[in-house]
């Protein structure tokens, strides 16, 4: 079975978060104690993906390279791809076609946060399918803000409607897409929408029309947060802080995932802990090694 590659779409101008994002990419602003992009990268790591393309604007790419390096500190390999202009989510598959080289992919939006105990298993189910694709439906109170799944009487998805004034269901499609190696070829057939973008819903509809798209519902045990507004950004930070302080466990910690998967050794983890020795993040990494913050 072909190994999936990862895509993080971290482009866009972030105008909804102005003035914060006038000098900083949206996906690098903090969600509590980590840059936002750590969270989607962690999702890909939980799916056992180690080759990841970060798709960014030309002017922001240097920021991402400085913040993320080449990925080796987490046992990963990063490729940076420029998105000259934000022309829709489906454009990511065109930009990443040579990187994917026919491989299936998991794409996650750079401003989405996912949390849930069964997330690795949910991802494993999706990546085990060799053909077609899987997206994830999440129940929301304000479905008109999202792409919404329209189910038939048997509970099977028949269409995905973008920002409907009268949502056919309360299930929004999250910013997490597992698609087979045909996605770039299909994306070439997507025509710009009235707002001038290559819509991901049109790409997904191609899979739906041939019966090869699965909509997996995320139940009550999962949290899906997007951070596109000032209020939702604050909510996400408070969510992560509450979990971190209440449970004493990190959320979206690439070092921890890499360590548990055996992608980095104790020496590499200790080096990361030392880099963050002046804050609680470094203390936490030391704790993974069974060391306290004062030990050498």
pLDDT beyond 70 at 292:
no
How large is the average pLDDT for residues 68-84? 97
Tokens read off for 201: 């819903």
According to the model, what pLDDT value does residue 296 have? 43
How large is the average pLDDT for residues 143-157? 88
> Residue ranges of the alpha helices (H) in 48-128?
61-68, 91-95, 97-100, 119-128
**C-alpha distance from residue 296 to each of 43, 272, 273 (Å):** 32, 14, 11
According to the model, what pLDDT value does residue 120 have? 94
The band of 14, judged by pLDDT with boundaries at 50, 70 and 90, is confident
According to the model, what pLDDT value does residue 204 have? 95
How large is the average pLDDT for residues 23-44? 96
Query: Considering the chain, what is the average pLDDT of its residues?
Result: 93
Q: What does the pLDDT look like over 231-289, one tens digit per residue?
A: 999 999 999 999 999 999 999 999 999 999 999 999 999 999 999 999 999 999 999 99
Q: What does the pLDDT look like over 158-211, one tens digit per residue?
A: 889 888 899 999 999 999 999 999 999 999 999 998 888 999 999 999 999 999
Measured in whole angstroms, the distance separating CA 227 from the mean position of its chain's CA atoms is 12
Question: For the CA atoms of 46, 47, 53, 54, what is the dihedral angle to 10 degrees?
Answer: -40
According to the model, what pLDDT value does residue 1 have? 66
């Amino acid at each position: 079975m072909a190994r999936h590659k990862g895509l993080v779409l971290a482009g866009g101008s972030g105008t909804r978060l102005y003035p914060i994002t006038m000098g900083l990419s949206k996906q690098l602003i903090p969600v509590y104690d980590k840059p936002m992009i750590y969270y989607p990268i962690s999702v890909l790591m939980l799916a056992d993906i180690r080759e990841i393309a970060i798709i960014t604007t030309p002017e922001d790419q240097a920021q991402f390279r400085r913040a993320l390096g080449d990925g080796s500190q987490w046992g990963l390999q990063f490729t940076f791809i420029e998105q000259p202009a934000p022309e829709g989510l489906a454009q990511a598959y065109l930009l990443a076609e040579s990187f994917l080289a026919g491989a299936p992919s998991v794409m996650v939006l750079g401003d989405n946060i996912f949390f849930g105990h069964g997330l690795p298993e949910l991802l494993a189910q999706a990546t085990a399918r060799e053909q077609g694709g899987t997206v994830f439906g999440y129940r929301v109170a304000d479905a008109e803000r999202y792409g919404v799944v329209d189910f038939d009487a048997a509970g099977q998805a028949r269409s995905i409607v973008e920002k409907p004034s009268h949502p056919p269901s309360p299930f929004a499609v999250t910013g997490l897409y597992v698609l087979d190696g045909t996605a770039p070829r299909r994306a070439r057939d997507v025509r710009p929408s009235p707002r001038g973008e290559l819509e991901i819903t049109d790409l997904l509809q191609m899979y739906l029309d041939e019966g090869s798209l699965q909509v997996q519902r995320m139940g009550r045990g999962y949290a899906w947060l997007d951070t596109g507004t000032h209020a939702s950004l604050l909510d996400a930070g408070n969510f992560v802080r509450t979990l971190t302080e209440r449970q004493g466990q990190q959320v979206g910690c690439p070092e921890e995932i890499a360590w548990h998967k055996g992608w980095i050794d104790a020496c590499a983890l200790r080096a990361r802990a030392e880099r963050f020795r002046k804050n609680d993040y470094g203390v936490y990494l030391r704790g993974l090694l069974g060391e306290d913050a004062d030990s050498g």
